[in-house]
Structure formats: structure tokens, C-alpha cells
Chains A and B, each alone.
Chain A
Amino acid sequence: MANHTADKIQKVSIIISRGSLDGVYPGLIMANGARMEGIETNVFFTFFGLEAIMKKRQKKLKVATVGNPAMHIPSLIGILPGMSAFATWKMKQEMEKLDIPPVDEFIEMIADAGATLYACKATVEMFHLSKDDFVEQVDSIINVGTFYEVSAGGSIIFT
């Protein structure tokens, strides 16, 4: 609990690879929390995680209600129209109570807090995207080698 100065984590690089609302939030909370502790922070968005930094997509992320036993919604019910929208609305409401921002505001806060945001080059090419598809907070599109270079000396967290 107290100051573990010797063990203090200095740097983290967090990978966000999923594009559902529940897929991106853990990484965003970890990244923001790292900056709040004064830890140098990189965030690398890859595969569907890119949706969190896409201008047209970041406000539309949803909670998946199918294929997730922890939701306690049988898959056959989860496929009904409106179920995902309902679960998404509910989760956003609970987050707001905790003062956890919506994805777009969170990305802005994390960048303002001094974290560096990167998009994965392989995914950008696979989805035929360009820098213009991303919000201004994204520093650059980098390949995996560069990701390891910028992560040097820190811990890497995959989400």
C-alpha cells in the first residue's frame, strides 16, 4: 500500500486488440491509471481494437451479448434485436456513475495525460485504412518492430 519506491513501475505499453466496448475499456482504464501514477505509457491499438481510435467508429462500440457466458444471457436470447444495444446502454450508464468517460472522451483524456497512442500497421493495411480514419490523438501508425522499440525498458500488457 505504501511507497514501494524500489519496485515502482516506470513504463508500460498496453495493447488493445478487441473492438467491443468491454474489449476496449480494460486497456483504456489501465492506460489512464498508469498516467495517473506518473508511469510512462504507450497504447497500441491492433485488429478490432482500432475501432476505439477510428473517427467513425469510436462512439458506436457495443457490448457483445452472444458467446459470453459471463453475461448470463443465453446466446439464443442474446441474438434478439436490441439485446446488444440494451446491454451497451446499461454498461454505459453504470460507467457514467463511476465517472468513467465514453470511449472518445477517454481517448482524448489519455492523450492529454501524456500517453502516446499508436495504430498497428498490419491491421491498417488489412482493413485498407489511412491516418485520416483515426482521431487526431493517434501519434502514428507503426509496425510491430517499432512497437517493441518504443516499448523498450517497460512492461507490455496485452488486452
Chain B
Amino acid sequence: MPTKTIAGKTVEVDAEGFLVNPDDWSEEMAPELAREEGIEELTDRHWEVIRFMRKDFKERGQIPTIRRIKNVGGIPTGELYQLFPQGPAKKAAKIAGLGKPQGCV
């Protein structure tokens, strides 16, 4: 597995740059990961998505779907696409230090 230094910490990543171990992630890494995805600044709403995804993943062991981010996390789908343009599920998961989502929805 390749490694990468994010916010001063060296972590294992996969070929597409997703963290291999979600436990390696810390909030300090998020801004740097976001910039790689073309998001210059993380707003409070971005953080709401990231924290919900982290919390839900910890509780259920699965990366939440866009539907779950809407119905349980309370972030409308349209807004999610604005916050994380061009592929919100994958981008948000990457910034949140989770793996690549494997589901079809």
C-alpha cells in the first residue's frame, strides 16, 4: 500500500488516495484532503456532512449513502451536490477519511 503525508501525518492510502484505515484520520487532515478534491474551504455545512459520515460509519460500520445523509443526516441532496460537486458520495467519504463507497446508490 502506498503511503502519503497529510497534515504532517503519514498514513496508508489506496491507489485513488482514500485512507485505508479510517482510524488514521483526524480533523486536521480534512482541509488538505478537500483541497485535493478542489474544495478550497470547508464551511460549517461541509463539516456537518463530514461529522455525520464519521459518526454513522463508526456506529454502523458502513459509509452512509446519499439517501442516508439526507434522511438521517439532514443534508438535502441538492445541497450535498453543491457542497461536494462532481461526485458528492465519493468526495465526502474521501475527505472524511473513509474508504471508497462500494454501494450502487
Contact = CB atoms under 8 A, between A and B. Distances in A.
A1 B90 contact: no
Given A101-B67, A114-B81, A3 B87 contact: no
Interface residues of B, number: 20
A33 B105 contact: yes
Interface in B65-90: 65-68, 70, 76-78, 81, 85-90
B16 A112 contact: no
Interface in A90-112: 98-101, 105, 108-109, 112
Interface residues of A, number: 20
Most buried by B among A1, A2, A36, A105: A36
A36 B67 contact: no
A112 B78 contact: yes
B77 A99 contact: no
A33 B102 CA distance: 12
A2 B2 CA distance: 14
A99 B103 contact: yes
Most buried by A among B15, B77, B105: B105
B104 interface: yes
Nearest to A37: B87
B45 to A, nearest CB: 16
Nearest to B77: A112
Interface of B: 15-16, 65-68, 70, 76-78, 81, 85-90, 103-105
9 nearest A-B residue pairs (beta carbon): A38-B86, A112-B77, A112-B78, A38-B87, A99-B65, A2-B15, A109-B77, A100-B105, A99-B67
